[in-house]
Amino acid sequence: MAGYGRGFGGGFGGGNMQQLMKQAQKMQAEMQKAQQELEDAEIIGVAQGDAVTVTMNGKKIVSSISINPDYVDVDDIEMLEDLIVVALNDGYEKADKMSKEKLGNAGGLI
């Protein structure tokens, strides 16, 4: 049985396992840092110049929407609604790009 224990411990290459664990911990720390950067980021989505501005973080949490009164036409609320959607989508697109830059291919796994 003594031979079994020696073979079992050596079969996993103890040094390689430690190195893999260190790499995994480093990667996890980098991912956490990138996620925090996304959470702290400020992304501005816009529509039609400055008609509608949406502010969000890199995780797509909207913190504010600003509407320029010069573009408000009470007889055409649908246009204003469309501009809000365009500004949101612009912000989401920018957040996706930032996420890919920060997290790389692993971003889809989180």
Strand partners, 55: 44, 64
**Residue range 91-109, pLDDT digits in tens:** 999 999 988 888 875 544 5
110 pLDDT band (50/70/90 cuts)?
Answer: very low
**Residue range 8-60, pLDDT digits in tens:** 545 555 678 888 888 888 888 888 888 888 888 899 999 998 899 999 988 88
3-state secondary structure labels for all residues of the chain: CHHHHHHHHHHCCHHHHHHHHHHHHHHHHHHHHHHHHHHHCCEEEEECCCCEEEEECCCCCEEEEEECHHHCCCCCHHHHHHHHHHHHHHHHHHHHHHHHHHHHHHHHHC
pTM for the model stands at 0.67
